[in-house]
Amino acid sequence: MTVFDPYASIATLHRAYRSGEISPVEIIDAHLAREDRLEDKLSAYVTRYSDEARQRAKDASEKFLGSNDAPPLAGVPIALKDLVDMEGRITTGGSPERHDRISPSTAIIAERLLAAGAIISGKTHTVEMATGGWGTNEHMGTPWNPWDLKTHRTPGGSSSGSGVAVAAGYCPGAIGTDTGGSVRLPASWCGLVGLKVTEGMLPTEGILPLSSTLDTPGPMTRSVDDALIMFEVLRGVDPGRVNSELEVNSGPHAAIRQPIDGLTFAVLPDSDRDGLDPEILEAYEKSVAALADLGARIVAKSVPPSWDGYSTLETLAIMSYEGYRFNKDIIDDENAKMDEWVKRRLVRGRSEFSDDIYQSALDKRIAHQSEFRREFENIDAILTPTTLTPAIPLTEVDENGSPGRFTRAANHLALCSLAVPNGLTRSGLPTSLMITCHGGHELTALRIGKAFESTDLWRNRHPSNLD
C-alpha cells in the first residue's frame, strides 16, 4: 500500500502499519488533505481535530518503529457523531443552542476507542437532538451525500455526518447512534455497513440521549470485518486480545467466516412489500436468492404486527416522552433556535403522551418482545431492505414522514440489526440489505453479512468524482 488509498480498511491499515508498508503520519496527512479539499462541499464535520490527529499519528508512528504491540486501532482515524462527549470539547447534539456546551467527561465508548489507539478525526453532523431519519439539520446544515455531487440528496439520519465521512474516504470507521434506524439509514444511503447493536450491549454513558430506552451506539464502516473490529473494541474486549485474534482470524473473526447453510431466514411476504422502489425490490430479491444459494432456508414471514406497526404509537410515545424530558430546556424556550420539525416531534412528549401512556407503551413493548421471541424462535434472521428508496433529493423530503419503516422494529423489539450494501441503482445510488437477528446475536448478523459480502464486492464500489 505504497500509494494512499482513501478507502483502505481498518484491517488493511492494521496490517500495513505493522509491516512498515506505510505509517500513520502518512495516512493522517493524506486524509486531512482530502478533507481540506472536499469538506466545503460535503460538510460531514461540525468540528475537525486536525492538530490532535497529527500528534497522535506521530505518536503511533514512533510506537510502530519500536514494536508491533501497538493497540488494534493505532493510527486509524475514526469520526464521532456530535452526541459523543470528549472531555473539554464541545458537543452540541446538532443544536445551535448548545454551541458552547463543553463536555464534562469522555464517553465510555470514546475512551475505549482511544485506549485501542484510534485517532479521533472530529465530530460529525447529526440531525438536531438525533430526531429524524432523513439527515437534515435546519440550522447547522445537512451533509452532502457524496454519491451524487450534482443533487443534494438525503445522507440519512440522524448519524448523517458519520455516514458521509466514511463514504467520502475521510476515515474507515465512524460512530453513529441508532434509536429508530439512525446508524442503518445513513449506512443504506451512503453505501456502508452499519451495525445496530442490542440495547445494553454497549455503554451509553457520555452520549447525549434521545431515548434512554431505545438508544444504541454502533459502528459505521465499509466492510463487515471492520464493523467487527470496531464492535469488539467498543464492547470493551482487551486490545491485546483483539490484536491476537485479528492476527490469526480466531475467535469472533473465525466465527463470522462460518458457512450459513442450515440457517433459516424470514423474508417479507408480498403484503409487506408495498411502497418499495422497484430497484430496491430488485436488489432485495437478488440478495435473498444469493443467500439461498449459500444454503440458507428461506421462509416468508411478517413481524407481528406488520413491520410498520412498530414505527407508530409505542415507539413514538417512548421516543417523544423521553426525548422531551432531556431537551425540555430548549423545547420550552419559545426564543430558542430549533429545527421546527424536531420540535414538532418532541413537543408531543410534553402533554400528548402522559405518564400513563408512556408506561403503557413500555408495557406493550415488553409484551411485543415476548410475542416476537415465541413466533420467531426458529428464525435465525429476518431479511428486509433497509430503506424503501435510494437517497432522494432534499427537495423531495416530507418531514411529516419517516424513512424508518423497516428499521424501527429492531429498536422496539431489542434486536440487533446489520445494514450491508447490496448494489447500485442504474443511476449509481447505493441500495442496502438489512439483516436483523435476535438480541445478543450480533455475531450471527455479522456472519450472514460476511457471507453475503463474499458474493459480490460491493464494499469496493465508492462514490465517483471525488478523486
DSSP class of residue 394? G
Model-level pTM? 0.97
> Under 8 Å CB-to-CB from 252, ≥6 apart: which residues?
228, 232, 245, 443, 446
pLDDT tens digits, one per residue of 275-295: 999 999 999 999 999 999 999
In DSSP terms, 196 is beta-bridged to 417
**Does residue 1 surpass a pLDDT of 90?**
no
Q: How high is the pLDDT of residue 140?
A: 98
Q: Which of 70, 84, 68, 79 minimizes the C-alpha distance to 34?
A: 79
Chain centroid offset of residue 4 CA: 25
Give 252-309 as a 3 state SS string.
HHHHCCCCCCCCEEEECCHHHCCCCCHHHHHHHHHHHHHHHHCCCEEEECCCCCCHHH
What is the side-by-side order of every strand in the sheet holding 297-300? 45-48, 119-124, 77-81, 173-178, 216-221, 193-196, 416-424, 430-437, 381-385, 264-267, 297-300
| Residue whose entry in the numeric block shows the C-alpha cell 484510534 | 118
* pLDDT bracket for residue 305 (50, 70, 90): confident
334/330 Cα distance (integer angstroms)? 8
**Using CA atoms, how far apart are residues 68 and 65, in angstroms rounded to an integer?**
8
**Tens of pLDDT along 235-267?**
999 999 999 999 999 999 999 999 999 999 999
Read off the pLDDT band of 233 (50, 70, 90): very high
- The percentage of the chain sitting over the pLDDT mark of 90, rounded to a whole number, equals 93
Determine the average pLDDT of the residues in 431-460.
Answer: 93
* Crossing angle (nearest 10°) for helices 355-375 and 313-331: 140
pLDDT tens for each residue of 142-184: 999 999 999 999 999 999 999 999 999 999 999 999 999 999 9
SS3 23: coil
- Statement: residue 66 has pLDDT above 70: no
CA 251, 381, 207, 153 torsion: positive or negative?
Answer: positive
Distance of alpha carbon 144 from alpha carbon 158, whole angstroms: 14
Contact 432, 387 (CB under 8 A): yes
Residue 242 CB contacts under 8 Å (≥ 6 apart), including other chains = 71, 72, 116, 229, 232, 233
Point out the residues that are catalytic. Answer: 81, 158, 182
What the block records as the C-alpha cell of 302 is: 411478517
Helical residues (DSSP H) of 67-178, grouped into ranges = 108-115, 160-167
Indicate the DSSP class of residue 130: G
Determine phi and psi for 238, rounding to 5 degrees: -55, 130
Closest C-alpha to 382, from 420, 438, 423: 438
403-438, pLDDT tens digit by residue? Answer: 999 999 999 999 999 999 999 999 999 999 999 999
Per-residue pLDDT, averaged over 78-103, amounts to 98
Q: Which of 33-42, 49-58, 67-76, 349-358 has the lowest mean pLDDT?
A: 67-76
Average pLDDT over every residue of 320-345: 98
What digits encode the pLDDT tens for the residues 122-143? 999 999 999 999 999 999 999 9
**From 3.30.470.20, 3.40.47.10, 3.90.1300.10, 1.10.3720.10, which CATH number describes the 10-302+375-460 domain?**
3.90.1300.10
Residue 67 has pLDDT above 90, yes or no: no
Looking at residue 35, its amino acid is: E
What is residue 217's predicted lDDT score, i.e. its pLDDT? 98
Model confidence at 68, pLDDT cuts 50, 70, 90, reads confident
Amino acid identity at 140: M
Q: Give how far Cα 234 sits from Cα of 53, 199, 246, 255, 443, Å.
A: 20, 13, 15, 18, 14
pLDDT cut 70: percent of the chain above it: 97
Dihedral-angle region of residue 191 (phi above 0 means left; psi in -120 to 50 means alpha; beta otherwise): left
Q: Is the pLDDT of residue 310 over 70?
A: no
Report yes or no: 147 and 423 within 8 Å, Cβ to Cβ.
no
Residue 212 in contact with residue 327, Cβ under 8 Å?
A: no
Q: Taking all residues of the chain, what is their mean pLDDT, rounded to a whole number?
A: 96
- The pLDDT value recorded for residue 304 is 76
